[in-house]
Amino acid sequence: MPHRPTVSIAEFSVSDREAGPYGITAGPDGAVWFTMVHHGRIGRVTPGGDTTSYQLEPASSGPSIITAGPDDALWFTEFRSHRIGRITTAGNVASFPLPTPNAGPFGITTGPDDALWFTEANADRIGRITPDGHVTEFPLPLSGAFPSAIATGPDERLWFTMNQANAIGAIGRAGDVTIYPLPTPDCAPVGITAGADGAMWFVEIGAGQIGRIMPDGRIDEFALPDRASRPHAIAAHADGTCWFTEWGANRIGRITPNGRIDEHDLPSPSSEPHGITQGPDGAMWTALEIGTIARLTAL
């Protein structure tokens, strides 16, 4: 029988319930950084649970997804202020407005070119920003696609989900876009990550499935035991697995490269897990909207 992992789960209180911890990433300083989407703050928590947070202006900016940049700073999207934000590990904040009004930036990742690539959910564009703040935008060949999460692939293209177009997209450095329609209707993909198997793994929040797409466009889908669990975000682990949040079921899931799924209930009820990342300590960390950050350590 294959080994079924068990996990130890610790929760750290980082805010009140209204702040909405949302995106999360490993920082270059050995800590985990996260966004508080409703209070307009960026938070930091150490493996020992020490927490610091920094206020953005305005507080209504809607910081969403956060990633470690190529410059040892953290970069994040401001969905409501239509800006890209940057914060140093010392807490110094800068913001860069986007050329397109009401763009709604959401997903963000460091690209293979030492720039940050991001999605513009309201404008059907993919953006690129250099560490010094120069922005380029690339239009998508679809309208109303709602591009969401984005991640760098093994082929050095940027792969992104199109939540309303039911498709996965890939964009090259020159702005050339390829669209890959998904087999399941209305599956509404959101999170995406690069797996250790040379594929991109993504979640289908509308279908309760985990998807895998190879660089040549071949797609596999794996149904979750609870199709109504609303998987939201996904992150690769160094052991070759991918971990994902089940926002509607209060669980964290794990999928192996061959499609085996394990699930772990979170201890706090209705905690609404959103972003997930592998931390500097090797554990998986997830942001819970109830105002806590959870650390999951495999035993």
> Could you tell me the strand order of the sheet in which 158-162 lies?
147-152, 158-162, 167-171, 177-181
Contacts of residue 41, defined as CB under 8 A and 6 or more positions apart, other chains included, come to: 15, 19, 35, 53, 54, 55, 56, 59, 63
Handedness of CA 286, 183, 104, 134 (dihedral sign): positive
Retrieve residue 90's tokens.
Answer: 């010392």
Distance CA 69, CA 116 (A): 7
* Rounded alpha-carbon distances, angstroms, from residue 248 to 136, 155, 177, 209: 36, 33, 32, 13
Active site residue 274: yes
The answer to whether 279 and 285 have CB atoms below 8 angstroms apart is yes
Contacts of residue 58, defined as CB under 8 A and 6 or more positions apart, other chains included, come to: 40, 81
Positions marked catalytic: 274
